[in-house]
Amino acid sequence: MESLRSKPSKLRSETEIFNEVESKAIDLFAKASGLDVKTVLNIVKKRSEQQDKQGLDYDLAFPCFQLATKKKLDAKTLAVQIAKKINNEIKNSKELSRMFSKLEAVNGYVNFYYNWNWLASIVLKSLQKEFALKPSKDLLYIVEFSSPNTNKPLHIGHVRNDCIGESIARIIKHQGFKVLKFNLINDRGIHICKAMLAYKLFGNNQTPEKANKKPDKFVGDFYVLFNKKAKQNPMLEQEAAKLLQLWESNHEETIKLWKKLREWSLQGLFQTYKDYNVSFDVIEFESEIYSKGKQLVLEGLEKGLFFKDDQGAIVVEFENLPRKVLLRSDGTSIYITQDLGLAVYRKQKYNFDYMIYVVASEQNLHFKQLFAILKKLGFEWADRLKHLSYGMVLLEHGKMKSREGQVIEADEFLQQMQHLTFKELKKRCQSINDEKAMLEKAKAIALAAIKFFMLKHAPRKDFVFKPEQSITFEGETGPYVQYTIARINSLLKKAESQGVTMPKQFLFKNFNDKELSIVKNLYSFNFVIEQAFKELDPSKVCKHLIKICQDFNSFYQTIPILKDVNNREKRLAIAKAVRTALSYGLYLLNIPVLEEM
């Protein structure tokens, strides 16, 4: 049976040689332009996806526009002058001539071109077993994501949230930072009491086992039932409010009922997390922290930062945002009160450097107000809080409505995708000897289809999930990346069976255009991950994986690999390096790797 690899082998830092080449280029430009190295580091442009689209093939580009303005020169003229100085230095240095194949002035830029026939072998050697990880940095990031309610199962919106949160945490780790993954579970409030009341009135002491239902689904059905019954009997809303009052007064029977339903819900939720390979370092419950923040608000009132309105509620006003109630007139807190207290509590307990909230775009205003209030209260670290806002996963009939049960639940979603994938695998296989193994493979491919489709769209964008499109083995899909890795595994096994082994020395020469295109994309993958980190956008990783796959598959289909004796070792090294990068890319996206497909 195929092994499902979810983690890469031990990682190490980028090759010193590439760091040296880049540093040399920066030093050369700094010396020739008269700028300091720090300034040059801020303006240098590196190989990027956008430049490839424009048909540009430079490796580093240095703009001369600002410097030209200071010197009262035309940028094109200045670029030519600087390029001439650097070219003279390169010609007189054997070491520099080996590093750079060309340097030229183009439209106000000084463009450096690496000597890829020399560097390509270094790239391939560095990617035979490992992928580069940035040196460890002593900064702590908290990433809060998922944050479900205990009155219903996870749904397709949670799936997108979890995909983003888990991937962002891994991308941050790649940069060498410490990461803690937080899950704040909403286990209190009127919505929780509605499910409790429905069970109390209509549950007949049923259990998930007796009903033969997954525990969180069992609890969620009572929440849906409450809303149906409340349409017939509006008095149930008042009964739910009374139940909330009993809960807040720590009424023994009510607390006992609450704990029972909560335990069932948590059992189901964490089974879903396990199925999706999502995990957390810290679990927090709103029932334990909802009163936090009240004292902060009262202190802010005393300092004149907040005020009381005509009804006695404590309110804050902003210059460019709507006013916000912080404490109701009866002294009870709301979500923003809790979030204020929780942010301060986390800072005190964990002393994080940055905190990222992965929450849907519907809460954009909430987080703008939250961060602004923290700044009003004098917490300078509020500038290091980030709301990673993401769009909706849309259905054919529109938005989801949890209270009416019109949702695609995460469990059902994965089951449907697994079924679709299993049908596709059956088409490709003449016979199935081990159905259990085939189902496990179908699940791994289904997870790849779901997660890649969720992540290939920039977080801020809404999209309609298309199941059939997501599971294809061609195009911009997770299964396509899995399939490319499996194809490479098959190639390497065939080479091994023919007695072709990987070389001990990586001194290849005469790379053709297709080979160099792959190598350059492998080299720039670290820059892509860095950009994904800076913009908190895993879609950049997805797009780059597809680019590597497309280049490799074009190479595989048009160029002989094992038959060309003079080049087969080099081409096998390329294949193995591609496998390393793709496997690590899937790891960053929390997608399993299949050895065979």
Strands (E), 57-161: 60-63, 100-106, 109-114, 140-144
* Distance of alpha carbon 545 from alpha carbon 551, whole angstroms: 10
pTM confidence score: 0.90
Give me the pLDDT at residue 307, please.
Answer: 95
Joined tokens for residue 47: 């190989």
Give me the half-sphere count of Cα atoms (radius 13 Å) on the Cβ side of residue 594.
Answer: 23
DSSP string, 420-434: HHHHHHHHH-S--S-
* Distance of alpha carbon 549 from alpha carbon 586, whole angstroms: 12
Are 424 and 394 in contact by the 8 Å Cβ rule? The answer is no
Delineate the domains of the chain, giving CATH numbers in brackets: 16-115 (3.30.1360.70), 449-594 (1.10.730.10)
Low-confidence ranges of the chain (pLDDT < 50): 1-15, 50, 400, 402
What's 317's DSSP letter? -
* Distance of alpha carbon 390 from alpha carbon 455, whole angstroms: 11
* Distance of alpha carbon 56 from alpha carbon 497, whole angstroms: 41
Q: How far is residue 451 from each of residues 165, 166, 425, 440, 467, measured CA to CA in Å?
A: 12, 11, 19, 17, 12
Return the H-helix or E-strand segment holding 522: helix 513-535
Collapsed DSSP state (helix, strand, coil) of residue 465: coil
SS (H, E, C) 225-289: HHHHHHHHCCHHHHHHHHHHHHHHCCCHHHHHHHHHHHHHHHHHHHHHHHHCCCCCCEEEEHHHH
* Distance of alpha carbon 213 from alpha carbon 526, whole angstroms: 45
Sign (positive or negative) of CA dihedral 446, 539, 385, 464? negative
**In b/e form, how buried is each residue of 385-410, taking b as 16+ CB within 10 angstroms?**
bbbbbbbbbeeeeeebebbebebbbb
Give me the pLDDT at residue 436, please.
Answer: 86
Taking the mean position of all CA atoms in its chain, how far away is CA 236? 42
Give me the pLDDT at residue 5, please.
Answer: 38
What's 178's DSSP letter? E
The dihedral region occupied by 554, where left means phi > 0, alpha psi between -120 and 50, and beta the remainder, is alpha
Joined tokens for residue 306: 């907040």
Collapsed DSSP state (helix, strand, coil) of residue 7: coil
Biggest distance spanned by C-alpha atoms of the chain:
90
Are 528 and 541 in contact by the 8 Å Cβ rule? The answer is yes
* Distance of alpha carbon 544 from alpha carbon 540, whole angstroms: 6
On the 0-12 / 13-18 / 19+ scale of CB atoms within 10 A, 275 is middle
Task: Identify the residue whose tokens are 């002058």.
Answer: 81
Are 497 and 531 in contact by the 8 Å Cβ rule? The answer is no
